[in-house]
Amino acid sequence: MTKSLEISELAFAYPDGHQALFGVNLSLNKGERVALLGPNGAGKTTLVMHLNGILKTMQGSVKVAGQIVDAEDKEAISEIRHKVGIVFQDPDDQLFMPTVGEDVAFGPYNAGVRGEALEGAVREALELVGMYDFVDRPPHHLSFGQRRRVAVATVLAMKPEILVMDEPSSNLDPTSRRELADIVRSLDITLLMVTHDLPFALELCERSVILSGGIIVADGDTREILSDSKLLSAHRLELPRGFHL
């Protein structure tokens, strides 16, 4: 099975001495959808920021599609950042151009794509998220759910190997949440979804990993993990009241 992501013995401490990760091991097969669960302060964001070299690897290694992530190698990091697309929690962190189309074109254009190829990349990405009809609209005229879908399109336009989504269902109304779930299900891509929304994890990811205190404390079938009330409680995770597996 081809690996999209291989993390081996990854440890990291911030300059203030706070140790965020303690020897994390994690691998994702190509096309696999995995939920990364855990309480606030568990190290989830720190882990994600290693995937494309935002944080420099101190100890251990990270490989994306077999390529070592080396923050010191500028050329390699440029390639890695094409392979790892991160969709942030707040879409307004990613949308800054006058129109939806220009936002989606920004990444491919800066990667040297021009003309019909650029137009095709924009169209394909927006069609994947059902937003091509809004190509000429200013992003700030869209609903929050629509902006989140456009933010996903800005990443998909780069044709990444791995799609990382940070709390993708937060602040979405039920309809927008369902629409986003349908889009994610339709994508042929490796997905790492950081979320506190356990039902959303169950809906989209067959496998879940719990990161707590900088170590992986559980890795397995999502339904089985969510059925373990003691495990969830020990790591400050809980299913919504009245939700039944």
pLDDT at 189 exceeding the cut of 90: yes
Share of residues in the chain with pLDDT > 90 (%): 93
57 in a structural domain:
yes
From the number of C-beta atoms within 10 Å of its C-beta (0-12, 13-18, 19+), residue 16 rates as exposed
pLDDT of residue 74: 87
Per-residue pLDDT of 83-100, as tens digits, reads 999 999 999 999 999 999
158 in a structural domain:
yes
CA atoms within 13 Å, Cβ hemisphere of 221: 5
244 in a structural domain:
no
- Look at the pTM and tell me if it is higher than 0.85: yes
pLDDT at 66 exceeding the cut of 90: yes
Domain tally for the chain? 1
Please enumerate, as own/partner, the contacts of 79-83 that have beta carbons within 8 Å and a separation of 24 or more. 80/51, 80/52, 80/53, 81/52, 81/53, 82/111, 82/158, 82/159, 82/160, 83/52, 83/160, 83/161, 83/162
Per-residue pLDDT of 23-48, as tens digits, reads 999 999 999 999 999 999 999 999 99
- Contact between 34 and 28 (Cβ < 8 Å): yes
How far is residue 166 from each of residues 69, 131, 175, 234, measured CA to CA in Å? 20, 20, 19, 22
- Tell me which residue range forms the domain holding 66: 3-234
141 in a structural domain:
yes
pLDDT at 22 exceeding the cut of 90: yes
Residue bearing tokens 């989504």: 165
